[in-house]
Amino acid sequence: MKNFYSNIYSFNLRILKKTVKYLSQGNLVAIPTETVYGLAGNAYSKKAVKNIFKVKKRPKKNPLIIHYHNISDAEKDVIFNKNFFLLYKKFCPGPLTFILKKSKNSKITPFATSSLKTVAIRFPKNRIIRSVLKLIKFPLAMPSANLSSGLSPVNALDVFEEFKKKINIIIDGGNTKIGIESTVVDLTGKPKILRPGIITKSKLNRFFKIDLSNNKFKIKSPGMLKKHYSPGIPVILNKKPKYSNHAYIVFGKKFQNYKNYFNLSKKADLKEAAANLYKTMRKIKKIGYKKIYVTKIPNKGLGLAINDRLKRASN
């Protein structure tokens, strides 16, 4: 593919082989997952992981998620427990990240985990990332493929917009199915949700009681910086704009089709809204609106994850 986006490739056997070779040499590749696109590098390689932080301009104290093909690939790096097995069986591969204790002889470079004693691990479901993970001999450290504190990318062009040609391979897997990042659950003690997502609290509560002490989603995760997921223009919540050069993100059928109104889901479907969230904010910014106002989104189920991202975007 020779055009302006000469580093964006459709997925085929040739690019799969090239990706495997590239990653094995310590280079970075942008790869789709079912949640958002990731910027992947060998989690055992100091060089690759340091480069991820550099390219993303990510603070060193914000650790990365390590991605595996299956449970046996991860057993040397982390210490499993009963709660992990319960959730793995039900939700993996899928959009769920586990915080577990790092094992003593883990090969994950301490740069990936910001020298913590714990590791975040995930088994993604998307077929492209899975076919890469299946062929390589190491796990992938893979944050969302965006500059730190910005919006996560949900298609290949979003990734290009973030890094231009600094990444040699961006694999095009179309729009991601889920559109927001995985749920992060801390299983090192009483189970806690550190980042809400499509696997909701009520789904997890069927297995064990989620600990809600020190209030809702109040985070000990170093990466849960207050300002995050920002489109780069002010975001104002639960308010209607006064001017037409301000965009209004709405939800449900009661809203008109005005030019500056952007409906996340006319049929008031939270899954559809999550899938449209980052895409819509990027679009609004690109059109040139100066501010984003957002209507109230129901704060239950997946709505909790959407509101979590909106709140951080508005900080």
HSE of 237 in the Cβ direction (CA atoms, 13 Å)? 14
In three-state secondary structure terms, 18 is helix
* Whole-angstrom distance, CA of residue 186 vs CA of residue 96: 11
Query: How many C-beta atoms lie closer than 10 Å to residue 240's C-beta?
Result: 12
Decide which of ligand TXA, Mg ion, none touches 32; Cβ closer than 5 to 8 Å per partner kind. Answer: none
Whether 122 contacts 78, CB under 8 Å: no
Q: Virtual CA dihedral for 88, 53, 126, 23, nearest 10 degrees?
A: -110
* Binding range to Mg ion, per CB under 5 A, among 16-24, 59-67, 119-127, 143-151: 143-151
* Binding range to ligand TXA, per CB under 6 A, among 156-164, 208-216, 217-225, 307-315: 217-225
Pick the binder of ligand TXA from 29, 48, 52, 64 (CB under 6 A): 64
Q: Which is nearer to ligand TXA, 192 or 246 (CB)?
A: 192
**Residue 83 sits in the site that holds ligand TXA (CB under 6 A):** no
* Whole-angstrom distance, CA of residue 214 vs CA of residue 212: 7
* Whole-angstrom distance, CA of residue 243 vs CA of residue 240: 9
Pick the binder of ligand TXA from 224, 236, 237, 268 (CB under 6 A): 224
Q: Which is nearer to ligand TXA, 69 or 246 (CB)?
A: 69
Q: Which is nearer to Mg ion, 15 or 159 (CB)?
A: 159
The CB-nearest residue to ligand TXA is 223
**Residue 263 sits in the site that holds ligand TXA (CB under 6 A):** no
**Residue 194 sits in the site that holds ligand TXA (CB under 6 A):** yes
* Whole-angstrom distance, CA of residue 36 vs CA of residue 273: 15
Query: Which residues between 96 and 155 bind ligand TXA (CB under 6 A)?
Result: 97, 99, 113, 116, 118-120, 122, 124, 142-144
Decide which of Mg ion, ligand TXA, none touches 99; Cβ closer than 5 to 8 Å per partner kind. Answer: ligand TXA
> Tokens in use for 272?
């559809």
Kindly determine how many residues on this chain lie close enough to bind ligand TXA according to the rule CB under 6 A: 29
**Residue 149 sits in the site that holds Mg ion (CB under 5 A):** no
Task: List CB contacts of 124: < 8 A, sequence separation 6 or more.
Answer: 33, 34, 35, 67, 93, 94, 95, 130, 133
Query: Which residues between 227 and 256 bind ligand TXA (CB under 6 A)?
Result: none
User: Can you name the residues that pair with 21 across neighbouring β-strands?
Assistant: none
Whether 60 contacts 139, CB under 8 Å: no
Minimum distance between the CB of residue 82 and ligand TXA, rounded to whole angstroms?
20
Q: Which residues of this chain interact with ligand TXA, rule CB under 6 A?
A: 33, 35-36, 38, 62-65, 97, 99, 113, 116, 118-120, 122, 124, 142-144, 181-182, 184, 194-195, 221-224
